[in-house]
A and B are shown apart, each in its own frame.
Chain A
Amino acid sequence: MSDYLTVFSIILAVIFFHYQNLKTKQHRCLDEVINRLDIITTIALNSCNTLPHARSQGEYEFNSKILRKSIDNFKSNAPTLLLKKHEFDTLSRECIELLEYIEMHTPVESPDNIETDSDGKMVNNLQTTLKVHMLANKIVSRIYKLL
């Protein structure tokens, strides 16, 4: 009887440590996602607020690539008992939506994406920056809901 109890305890301990390990990895990915989101929104907002409006010289592409990679890592390190696949798919989709908005409506990828006034300033600056903030905050709040 005591042998069974010992084996059972060991199995429980292994499961517990495995679970804790996944949670730690997941938190590291979470930190990375939030950090990259912060960098990406800063790059996008700077491109909207700095004159003359210019495209990113590779920083945006680099950080967006890391963000995508971090979300994939977040997904693969998530304890599946607690989190559902569709929640990660939604997170991934919202991330793509943010990146697409930045690439199509800010000068990050091309200054030709924006309309400028006679002083060369972006016309709908406030509307665009608010939308970038809104989409980024939506992703952050979803991440916290997942945990």
Chain B
Amino acid sequence: MMATINVAKDFSLMPSGRSHTDGSYTGEHFYDYLVRIMNSIPEDEKIIVNFDGILSAGSSFLEQSFAGLIRKRNITKSKFSDKFIIEANDYPEIREKILRYVKEA
């Protein structure tokens, strides 16, 4: 079984910003959303995060939401790739950025 998050449909077409105070669809909001999903599914279930269809995704948003999971110890770096499958066919650099931010967190 896999849980799928379609960022464009389930969250925002243009997510950006780092902190809650930066707007309604920021990295911290998406971090909270990811944590809620992680807590609602079995531990061994994978999560697909699909960025297709979004207009843009800010780097601060990506860093805060995904590297935030590592910083706040929701998941370890080594387990991140086992848990999350990042799909970004429109903007392939989104996947590269997320993996880099997680590695550097």
Contact = CB atoms under 8 A, between A and B. Distances in A.
Interface of A: 55, 61, 64-65, 68, 96, 99-100, 103-104, 109-113
Given A61-B16, A109-B16, A109-B18, A103 B58 contact: yes
Interface of B: 14, 16-19, 21-23, 26, 55-56, 58-61, 63, 93, 97
A109 B60 contact: yes
Contact of B22 (A55, A64, A65, A68): A55
A104 B59 contact: yes
A68 B55 CA distance: 11
Majority SS at the chain B contact face: loop
3 interchain residue pairs of minimum CB distance: A110-B18, A103-B59, A109-B60
A109 B17 contact: yes
Contacts of B26: 110
